[in-house]
Amino acid sequence: MATYEELCAANNESWKYYLELSECKLKFDATSQLTSIFYDESNSQIFSIHSGGQEVVVKSPNKDFCKKFKMEEKGHITSIKFSPDMSILSVQRSETSVDFLTLVDDKVSKEFTHTFKTPNTLLLGYMWTGKNELIFITDQGVKLCKIDVQTSAVSLLKSMNVNVNWFNYFGPICLLLLNSGHSCRSMQLLQIKQNQILKLAKFELDLDMNYKTPKTLSERDVVLGVVYNLPRILVMTYQNVNGKNQAELVVYTIIKLSSVKKTHLLRIDQTGCFAVNLVDNLIIVHNQESKSSMVFDITESEFQGSVSYHYPIVDPKSIKGSNQELKNYDLYSRNWVMFQPNIVMDAKLGYLWHIQLNLYGFLKAMTDKNKLTSFLLLRSDSERVIAYMLEHMLEKRDKSMTELGSIFDQINAVYRSYLELNLHSQMSMPVNMSKIEDKKVVVFKTVIDQSFMFSHVFSKLEDKINNDSNWKESRFVTWALLEYIRSLVDFQITVYHNLYEILINSLVKNGNFYQLHQLLQYHAVEDSKPLACLLLSLENLYPAAPQLAIDMLERIGNKCSGSTKEEITEILLYNKQLLSSLRYSKKHSSPHDRICETKYLDAARNIGNEKLVYTILTHFNLTSQLRNGNLLASDGSKMFP
């Protein structure tokens, strides 16, 4: 793994950006006098309709949703959409009717029309809510209908009468937001569910009457989406400040799908033409005039009463363009159209991109590493970025141990929550979840476990310590590892022995024998057989290590049913402490256990100490005498005249 500095150097240009257009983009036929372009947000489909033969080319990031067919030209098309299962095509050509078509082998096999018979009714739009169901929104209300292709019939399931100025729809949970009333401030939130139209909440928009009149508010100023697991309504409003119109983005939170509350206000403090995207729980506000984008995170706020106020978490910057094929295209072009959650489409060029985060761009922009860590843990696929950040901090001793410990605590708090969630899931037990009306409902996106920390942070730094004996920061890395282990213990997470191995090796490498002895003596390091074996291997560097290993093995034997007697006696034998080994073996043996005499006699003879041989031989003779009731002669007595 490259170091932080190497990565910065290699990606110096791309790391200047927080946002970027995806390299994998969708190419479609550009709009022209003969080609019309439509985009269906629900199915993520682009329709390119060519005049003349009325050829229709459908493209989508999902290959199963791509199609090409021909249909009869019957006039100007204002809307075209497939049902969710692609079995029915709906086409709107007027404000009073919708055509329905079925396709067989990419050819129209059946076609029928549904016309609204109520006088002076204008169709504002329609949305598919199921494979055979769709909802029509007119200026006089909404109608939920079922389509029967066999009988070419459109039957009414439910309806609701209400004056509608415009609407906005959020497909994933079938939320329909209606703007109504003469003042255009009244909003009605509906949900389409199980062939029913459910009234969820009615509320008034908080708009500045002095500058921009409510009548100018349109569906383009409103975004429906989910941020941190709660459905939200985002409304772009404008304030008159010193004769200039400055924008603010008001966030209304839908609580338990029953009420709507103004909860957040995003301070944009700029003038211009704005668009909004939602990317990985971040609210992105684009300014076409300044050609820059602002990043808002509603977990970080200045709380004033019932509303939290937010400013961009980093300075506004431009989006990084796509490097492939297109080189001279205009970023923030007037041809750009933003769709939710993170779609940018340029119909004139014929390209569709996804806006994605470049998390490396936040590394230098956010100097407070605690806030940066909190931010990254809430983003998807941020593990590597966090690893690079920690590597840089440890290599350069960039932060104090206190701040580093706080970062470890953040990481392990999420790790602990993840372990608890898995445990409850395995035991089929309910988990205490935050109430939906709580101020913050946040689910972690990234979990940094100790295996990842071992592989991508500490083992890499251990290699550097081993390869560079003069590296000045090796001691700091050692104490940082100890701080990480402290954090794991505080959150009651069992520490893997491989982390302890790195810690012990680092302490020995730096000559911190006293600290190692203290850690082992006061059980700050959890006992395990692999660690005991490691201590034995360090005898040449630290003579006291074998005794520490023996003490550890004895504690392990006392805690669990599995005996460690054999390991301890073998260690003592290996270290030529034959009498100690013999005493320990006898002390921890039952009356019926037999001790291997040959092993001890051979070990004593290999040492070459005749007195030791005699002592061991005498011991076994006496033991045999006590067992058999008579004194046995020793075969080895001839060695002593």
Residue 421 CB partners (closer than 8 Å, separation 6+): 431
395 and 518 belong to one structural domain: yes
Last residue of a domain, one of 575, 592, 613: 575
446 and 456 belong to one structural domain: yes
389 and 534 belong to one structural domain: yes
Residue 583 lies in a domain: yes
Residue 96 lies in a domain: no
494 and 401 belong to one structural domain: yes
* pLDDT given for residue 599 in this prediction: 65
Write out the residue range of the structural domain in which residue 593 sits.
576-641
Residue 559 lies in a domain: yes
595 and 511 belong to one structural domain: no
Cα(359)–Cα(342) distance, rounded to whole angstroms?
A: 16
Residue 433 CB partners (closer than 8 Å, separation 6+): none
Is residue 578 within 8 Å of residue 604, measured between CB atoms?
A: yes
Is residue 386 within 8 Å of residue 411, measured between CB atoms?
A: yes
525 and 639 belong to one structural domain: no
497 and 423 belong to one structural domain: yes
Which own/partner pairs from 457-466 qualify as long-range (CB within 8 Å, at least 24 positions apart)?
Answer: 457/387, 457/390, 457/391, 457/394, 458/484, 458/499, 458/502, 459/502, 460/1, 460/391, 461/391, 461/394, 461/395, 462/502, 462/505, 462/506, 464/395, 465/506, 465/509, 466/509
Cis peptide before 530 (omega within 30 of 0): no
Chain mean position to CA 3? 23
* Token pair listed for 314: 């980093």
* pLDDT given for residue 132 in this prediction: 93
Is residue 546 within 8 Å of residue 536, measured between CB atoms?
A: yes
| Residues of the chain under the 50 pLDDT cut | 1-4, 10, 211-215, 430-441, 631-641
Cα(201)–Cα(187) distance, rounded to whole angstroms?
A: 8
503 and 443 belong to one structural domain: yes
* Token pair listed for 419: 């372990």
374 exposure class (CB count in 10 Å sphere: 0-12, 13-18, 19+): middle
Chain mean position to CA 123? 41
* pLDDT given for residue 474 in this prediction: 74
Cα(267)–Cα(55) distance, rounded to whole angstroms?
A: 46
State pLDDT tens for residues 276-286. 999 999 999 99
Residue 15 lies in a domain: no
* Token pair listed for 204: 């008034």
606 and 559 belong to one structural domain: no
Last residue of a domain, one of 525, 549, 575: 575
Domain count along the chain: 2
* pLDDT given for residue 441 in this prediction: 45
383 and 514 belong to one structural domain: yes
Last residue of a domain, one of 524, 555, 575: 575
Cα(263)–Cα(300) distance, rounded to whole angstroms?
A: 13
Look up residue 435 and give its amino acid: K
617 and 488 belong to one structural domain: no
Residue 413 lies in a domain: yes
Look up residue 289 and give its amino acid: E
* pLDDT given for residue 14 in this prediction: 66
State pLDDT tens for residues 116-165. 888 888 999 999 999 999 999 999 999 999 999 999 999 999 999 999 99
* pLDDT given for residue 641 in this prediction: 34
Q: What CA–CA distances, in Å, run from 262 to 91, 226, 235, 358, 639?
A: 37, 15, 10, 30, 99
Residue 614 lies in a domain: yes
> What are the residue ranges of helices labelled H in 468-496?
474-490
562 and 632 belong to one structural domain: no
DSSP 613: H
Residue 417 lies in a domain: yes
Is residue 89 within 8 Å of residue 100, measured between CB atoms?
A: yes
Residue 405 lies in a domain: yes
Hey, how many other C-beta atoms are within 10 angstroms of the C-beta on 623? Answer: 15
* pLDDT given for residue 470 in this prediction: 66
